[in-house]
Structures are given as structure tokens and as C-alpha cells.
Structure 1
Amino acid sequence: MRNRQWLLARRPDGLCVPDDFLYRDEPYAAPDLREGEILIRNLAFLCAPTIRNWMDESTGNFMPSIALGEPVRDPSAARVIASANPDFPAGSRVCTIANWQDFEVVAPTRALIRPIPDGFSFIDALGPVGMNALTAYFGLIEIGKPKTGETLLVSGAAGSVGSVAAQIGKILGCRVIGIAGGTDKCTWLVEQGCVDQCIDYKCDDIAQQIAALCPQGVDIYFDNVGGAMLQAAVDNMARHGRVVLCGQISGYNDGATENRLGNLMRLVYGSIRMEGFLASNFIAQFPEAMSRLARWIEEGRLLHREDVRAGIEVLPMSLNALFDGSNQGTLIVQISDDASQSA
């Protein structure tokens, strides 16, 4: 066996460039496993904005920064090829937080790991019922607590998390306003039924448009962006509104200098709740959520787009698509043809 890896060679400054990474391809000998450990072969990786956060030298992440010279950390879908853990026997299919490499040892007692249900491919497990979809589900339902007839505003509404959050809002009876970049994305959101109206941040005055489209205020703001967009939403929240803090993508490449929030007395006077969350807070509810998401997809009520790219060699530069807006759906890189298998 050979183990292909992408290592973090230096900390990126802004968008990633090739010299930020080092490729290594070496022979791999399967190690002896300690009790509870499993050896996995990664088949596909989910490119998520938070990976860029982990590359920085920061103490503010929920996971440690990636050390220089170490493989880049990333959510993956994998097959267990050897096991010393009865809960995950050889042949099992799992999702976990892994690294940009073919093989690695995982200790499930110390890692977020979940089985892939029968009937779902490895790609499905990272896409339609994957972590981004689960993040949208729990963020909106558990933190946003939508009610029929309320107005939901979603930033990054054409993205992997945002588009699912917007559609769930529609399913649950909300009026949905999306914020996205560019005519094509806004047109897709409106024509595919994801949103009632869309604000194009590339050409519209965001704060002005929110005020015009939401004269009674925003009941729920699902925030994927942070920065000035978050400020515009806070300034237009309805009384007893809820702000769901999911991501701050506007600051991931610049040290979060854009993410200073003002007018906090607006939250006090409006009795507005602002709350951050992680999907892993609700891990016990994952099976129920995956089943519900799958049912909505089967019924045609929830659309999901995957941007699947092939080859371990494209991993590092694919990440930039999340920040320049060139991805078309959940960005997944498969490094093995087996990733399309559902069993």
C-alpha cells in the first residue's frame, strides 16, 4: 500500500496558493492497532470553509490549529479496513474528521465518527445527508426555531449549508429571503423554489434591501458570512428575533478583521437572541435528522447540489472555490472510485 498525503507547509496568507502545501507519496505498512482503534481508508473529503480556519495559528478554533508539516485536517467518508473496535468492524463505512491522506488510524473514543447508513453512498454521506446538511438542519430547527409565517433571512443562501437552511425554512412555512452573489445564483435560488426573493450582494445595497423586503423586520437570520452582512441583519431584526451564527466566511482569509459587530443594544432593546452552535452538539439526533432529510429529498421538497471533483491532486486548490464562489453546491473531492458505492 502507498499513502498519498497533502501536508501544510506554511500558513496561508489570504487564499491558498500551491506553495502552502507539500505533497508526499510513501509506502504504507498497516500498524498494529490498540484496543478501540480502527484503520480507515479515506475515499472522499468534504471541502468546508472551516478548514481554512484550522490552517491559521489561532486559539479560537474548536479544534487545534493544524501543525506545520502535518496532513491537512478535513471531514471524510471512509471504509474501515482493519479494526480493534467491535462497534466499527472491518468493512464498515464511516464519516469522521480525518486528514488529507489515504490511510490513518482513528480512535473513535477521541474522534467524531458516525456510521454511514445502508443505501447511502460515500458521496451522499458528505452531501445530501452530510455534515453541511445536518448543520443547516440543526441550526435552523434547534437554534432558529422557525414558526409558520415568519420571515427567514439566509446569507450564503446558494452555498452548501445556506441552500439547505433556506429550503427547510420553506418546508416549515417561512417566507425566505436569500443573500447570494451574482445573477446566476440568485436566479437559481428563486427559480428552484429555495427562496421567495433574493438579494445580490454584488450589486445591491444589502442593508437597504433587507429593510425594503422586510418592513416588519427579520424573525430569523441564518448567518454564514459575518462581517457587514451580519451587521445589516442585526440592524433589521424584528422583536424577539433569533440570529443563528453558523459561519463567518467573510473573515476566514483576513484574520477576521471584518467581523466587529456594533449596535449591540439593538439586541437588548429588541429582546433578540444570538447563538452559535456546532452540529456535533446534536449528534444523538443525527439518525433522525438524516432520515428526515432523505425523506424530503425523495419527496422532491429538498434539492441538493454536489460539486464533485476527482483526484487527490486537486484537493488543495479546490478549497479556494468556497471563497471565490466558483463551486456549484457542496464541494466534495473523491480520491477513489469506490466513493460512489452505497454498500
Structure 2
Amino acid sequence: MSLLPPNKKKVAKETPRNFVIFGETMNGKTYFTEEFPNPINLNTDGNAEMIETPSINISHQRDSKGTITKSVSDVLSDVIDELQGTKHGFETIVLDTIDDIITLFEQEICEGEGVKSIGDIGWGKGHAMLEMMVRVLIMRLKELSMKKKVNILYISRSIDIEENDVSKQVPSLKKKWMNIVNGNSDYTILCRKIGKQYIRKVESKRKNYTRDKIDDEQIASLLDTVIGAYEKSKKTDVKDAKKIVEQQEKQEELEQKAKRKEREEEAAGESTKDNPDPKQDKQPEQAPKEVTKEPEQSKKQPTARRRPPRQARS
């Protein structure tokens, strides 16, 4: 049987299944996720019982001594296995939040290796272990979305950054992890509350989706509520592209200078802690003593003059 597909065009299936949803607290993220079909919330905030969505508290299981008996990675693996192999009726998996899950992964590695920081594990082994755990989780969830047509929602908080003197909200998830998560997602959507209005806006998307090619009407209807969900990307001419690249390069150069300065200040601070008053360690320089030479005495001592004897008077 040939593994090659027929050499002819086919109708593309464009239904997006993987989403990054971010925003500040109380800005409509949870409300948005509840509008997806049949969601299950994998919750890291410990408040799974406080929401109506069927939920699981995601945390390490520990014994009376505080030792991890079942790690978060094992808990998530068991949940994914069950979602793949049983009839459950769930159509959407919500990871609330992906930031906390990665932090729990890091904690798991540190406790397993007996270190305080993942950087304390030599030869970059700790960072490699953490990256592998994150990638495995993302790939297993993506496989679940492809085979079972399950929607995957990665929830992240947000932070404000300055970009070209303009304040902008971005996911609080570190850029390294955001690149992995976002690279396996179809949409990145910002939830904001302006006044009494809740707004959903596309920050990035995998491709220019068209509504008529989305075969899941419930997903299509949800995207109808998101600004920019079906807008086509605009082409940029060469001149404008050059300006954008130049501005980006300048921004990156400024960021690198700021990082170098921060590292230098940290190094200077550590040096000051080790030696609070560097002047104390230095002995004051003593002025060279002047050596005065005594005048050389003549080897011949001057002889005292003797008066001539008196002559007797005649």
C-alpha cells in the first residue's frame, strides 16, 4: 500500500483547535473558555471547586513529610491517557494556567535532583529536562486535538511592556515557553476589560482563516466574537519592511545594552557584598623615607696651633 497521497488538490480543513488565551485577572479569560463546547478545566489555582466547569486541581501529591509521591507530570500524563482512551464527553481541555504548570515542572525537577534552582544542575541538564517535559506535554495535547478533535486552551496571565514608547500587554509566559506553545497553536487571543465592556482581540494566528472553511459551527461562532479573527494579513512593501526591521534591530540593541548593564550592576553588587569597603583592604601607601647623608669627615683632623715660646728679655 502506497504511503503517498493522490497527486491532486483536496479541500483543506481549517478548524482551529489550539488557542493561547491571555489577559489580566478578571478580564474575561475564564468566561471565554466556558463558552467552548464541553470544557474540562485543569486548574492550578486551587479553586477548581469554585467554578461551575468540571475541574481537576493540578498539583503535586505529597506525603506527611512533604515528599512528592506523585508529580504533576504524572498527574497530567494520567489525565491525557484517560481522555484518549475513554468515553467522557469532554470536547475542550483548559490549562489554567500554563505558566503555573511549567513552574510545577521546574519544582519537580529541583526536588528530584535535590537542588534549590534548576541552574544548579550541571551542564545545563536541568534546563534540558524542563524543556523536554514542556515539549512532551504540548505534543501529547496536540495529538489529542488532531485525533479526537478536542480543543486545547492554554491560559496565561499578562504583563505590560514598553514597545516604541507604547505600553502593550503580552503573555506573562516566558518568551522561550511562549515560542513553543504559540508555535503549536492556531490563535493567540487577548482578553481585556475596558470600562464595562469585555473585548477579545487576535494578537497572532497561524494563517488567514476563513469562516466558510471552518467545519465546527460552535468554534466559528466563538471566533465571530473576536476582533481580527477573519481579517487577512496585509502585505508590506519593501520600504516599509526595511523600516520595521531597522526599528526592531534598534530595539533589540537597546534591550541587549540594558541586559549587559543589568548584569554589570549585579556583578558589582555581588562584589560589594563580598568586600563592603574595598579601601580597607588596601594599606595606605607610605611616602618613601628621605635618607639624609651626613657630610663626610676629613680623614685628617686639623692640628691646633701652638704659640711660640716667649724669649727672655736681656
Q: TM-score range by the shorter chain?
A: under 0.3
What TM-score, normalized by structure 1, do the two folds share? Answer: 0.22
The structure, 1 or 2, with the larger RCO (C-alpha pairs under 8 Å, 6+ apart) is 2
Higher strand share: 1
Higher helix share: 2
Larger radius of gyration: 2
